[in-house]
Amino acid sequence: MNTTDYAVVYDVTNDKERRRVDKTLKGYGFRVQKSVFECRLSKKGKDDLVRSLERLGIKTGFIKLYRLEYSTKNVCIGDGRKESIDSAPAFIV
């Protein structure tokens, strides 16, 4: 099964809507910042995630999915340069 990595970024001002987005994304990936998740998804998984997010009917902000590309060397500035368990190819937002 082919998978692709995505960064899912959201900016939602309503607390109730934001909690629903957060809960949905926790089912598909892991948080890398307060409003950024990384998700490794199959085509079906991506389609399911998009449908789940669309069903939330967000009115006070937006949610964007960005396909992560690892064909070039990643650049990291700041404390993220430290070696960690996640030192494998990753995208740090």
The answer to whether 64 touches 56, Cβ cutoff 8 Å, is: no
Domains and CATH numbers, the chain: 4-81 (3.30.70.240)
Which residues on adjacent β-strands are paired with residue 11?
62
Distant-in-sequence, close-in-space partners of 56: CB < 8 Å, separation ≥ 6:
17, 20, 21, 24
pLDDT digits 0-9 by tens, 9-57? 999 999 999 999 999 999 999 999 999 999 999 999 999 999 999 999 9
Of 70 and 3, the one with more pLDDT? 3
Position 71 scores a pLDDT of 64
CA 51 to CA 75: how far, in whole Å?
Answer: 32
pTM for the whole structure = 0.76
CA quadruple 4, 76, 23, 14: dihedral sign:
negative
pLDDT digits 0-9 by tens, 54-89? 999 999 999 999 999 876 666 667 765 555 444 555
